[in-house]
Amino acid sequence: MRKENPRTDIASRQKYPKGLLFRIVNINGTLLLDKDNNLKGRGIYLKKDLASIELSERKCLLEKKGNVPSSLYQELKENL
């Protein structure tokens, strides 16, 4: 059986299994939520909890990685 590598949450810098994290992909400079984990591109991982989403929004962590559509944070909160 293959062991899954943990991913790092950008808000807390802690490592978690992929199932506990949202994957956000940078495609041509725009960040998109990858619901099915199948989009090509470099992934950014964010823990699936309200505190992590609000911390990343407050500290503009996603804005440092690319252009954030205005609906991205709302989409993340809806998918909790």
Residue-averaged pLDDT of the chain: 91
The pLDDT value given to residue 29: 86
Residue 2's pLDDT band (cuts 50, 70, 90): confident
Both tokens assigned to 8? 């790092």
Q: Within 10 Å of residue 10's Cβ, how many Cβ atoms?
A: 20
| Domain chopping of the chain, boundaries | 7-78
Judging by beta carbons within 10 Å of its beta carbon (0-12, 13-18, 19+), is residue 1 exposed, middle or buried?
Answer: exposed
Q: CATH classification of 7-78 is 3.30.1230.10, yes or no?
A: yes
pLDDT digits 0-9 by tens, 5-42: 899 999 999 999 999 999 999 988 889 999 988 899 88
